[in-house]
Structure 1
């Protein structure tokens, strides 16, 4: 049984269709990347999963329980971190962390203190004095110090500096190693690329592509950097070759996966002296999905 099972979720606000048939699954010990531009439907999907908003049609379950009817029971084993954390100004960061942990029924002081140190948070300061990044740290520490089995993270590193982003990524991988599951909505594509086993791309309320990073890369272009003894200026006329440029003696081009064999054959005929093949980054995948046709 999947930890999370979303089947044909539709959400309408009047005549506006915010979600249209969204379907995906999250397995135990998996990190699922949920990406898309603003207004694509990410936040609406997360609100439905958290039991805040009721879907117009379709069904979503977490731990086999209906997300709308059994939200309270589900939340006992779920931690949620939004992209903009609001805290109680007159409480210290440490007091807020302990409050959240007590809501889960237990306070693992050793794990809490270790996370406070790793995230370099001063827990004695009142939350009203915290920067956005420190408020995010409070929420992340509260989440990862809890015994939750599922983490729903919506732009969780918003406001964190690069060093703290690395600490966050380490925490996600540690949770995964413990068999816990993570649904990560992020616009930081390098973060998704490092952490996620599976990616779903949502646009205009619909999942337009999903799969492992390897599967998605198989459907898209590779970057080739090549140097040959003989000129290859006519290579750009071949099917599947895009954005060919020349810098000094090196050529750089994008090649569609289905045309890669023929392009490599043509390159070999020009006596290759140097070649480098790079898989596309998630950012390149993203741009291809959202470029204006």
Structure 2
């Protein structure tokens, strides 16, 4: 697949503090990449480097095959960006600001603009200084989604939005995805990333500690199993790969290493199973696993 964004061995320091030590990942054409990590992990610094706002110290950063720093003006013609805290001109109305952003980008679609204003329930006639944090985010999102871009970089885009508006945002990202657009999504809402992302990149202390599809990453952790049987369920606690076995009567809940699921199934089949549930690990489980240490 064509690489829209390519980051290899990215490093960046601010004085003596090394914010990025070794960041490498890519965003392919038509792919949604979830970029996650806690505050201070280096997400926004990485994104600002991709945008050409910050100059890297070492490594390679290209967008559309062009150098992110040297060719930033050319790159921005096909790019839309929404930061986690949208700053607006206080004396302009929301509608005027959306129109200005669209004009700066080179046009946009007025029908899409009107549709998004309705969907996000924004009053475009109010002045920006009267807007809440959530409404400022709506202005940024509407402006970014109303123009035609090949790459959308969204850094905590739903910050300040209520759950209904988060759902609207997710619907719009799904539409971009279906249209073959590329999206780099940084979000603290793990369920949002889990729903939308084709691939996940986890950053910790300025380094990428894990990346891949959710299915690939789930092989690295355990599933949660709930089993009820007519036979002696305690024998399942001895199956290889079983951990944290908790029994209540004829039912037990435990975690198991995924590679031993077949062994568990074989052992369970001897006990007259009345219930068998397997829940794969969530993105939150994977995330916590990296940070609990």
- Is this contact kept in 1: 2:233–2:250, CA < 8 A? no
Counterpart residue number, 1:122: 123
Q: Does 1:153 align with 2:154?
A: yes
- Is this contact kept in 1: 2:203–2:209, CA < 8 A? yes
Counterpart residue number, 1:193: 194
Structure 1: distance between partners of 2:87 and 2:244:
45
- Any idea what SS the aligned residue of 1:187 has? coil
1:57-99 deviation per Cα after TM superposition (whole angstroms, max 9, x unaligned): 1011001110011111111111111111111111110000000
The structure-2 alpha-carbon separation of the partners of 1:78 and 1:238, relative to structure 1 and needing over 3 Å to count, comes to same
Q: Does 1:213 align with 2:214?
A: yes
Structure 1: runs of 5+ lacking an equivalent: none
Counterpart residue number, 1:133: 134
- Is this contact kept in 1: 2:226–2:252, CA < 8 A? yes
- Any idea what SS the aligned residue of 2:3 has? coil
Counterpart residue number, 2:145: 144
| TM-score normalised by structure 2 residue count | 0.95
Per the TM alignment, residue 290 of structure 1 is displaced from its structure 2 partner at its CA by: 1.6
Q: Does 1:223 align with 2:230?
A: no
Per the TM alignment, residue 222 of structure 1 is displaced from its structure 2 partner at its CA by: 1.0
Counterpart residue number, 2:233: 232
Per the TM alignment, residue 176 of structure 1 is displaced from its structure 2 partner at its CA by: 1.2
Per the TM alignment, residue 263 of structure 1 is displaced from its structure 2 partner at its CA by: 2.6
Structure 2: distance between partners of 1:70 and 1:244:
56
1:42-121 superposed matches below 5 A: 42-121=43-122
- Is this contact kept in 1: 2:223–2:256, CA < 8 A? yes
The structure-2 alpha-carbon separation of the partners of 1:122 and 1:246, relative to structure 1 and needing over 3 Å to count, comes to farther
The two structures, once aligned, show a CA RMSD in angstroms of 1.5
Per the TM alignment, residue 270 of structure 1 is displaced from its structure 2 partner at its CA by: 2.5
- Any idea what SS the aligned residue of 1:251 has? strand
Structure 1: distance between partners of 2:116 and 2:281:
34
Structure 1: distance between partners of 2:6 and 2:90:
37
Q: Does 1:278 align with 2:279?
A: yes
| TM-score normalised by structure 1 residue count | 0.95
Structure 2: runs of 5+ lacking an equivalent: none
Per the TM alignment, residue 281 of structure 1 is displaced from its structure 2 partner at its CA by: 1.0
The structure-2 alpha-carbon separation of the partners of 1:237 and 1:291, relative to structure 1 and needing over 3 Å to count, comes to farther
Q: Does 1:22 align with 2:23?
A: yes
Deviates more, 1:180-189 or 1:6-15: 6-15
- Any idea what SS the aligned residue of 1:269 has? helix
Aligned length: 292
Counterpart residue number, 1:175: 176
- Any idea what SS the aligned residue of 1:3 has? strand
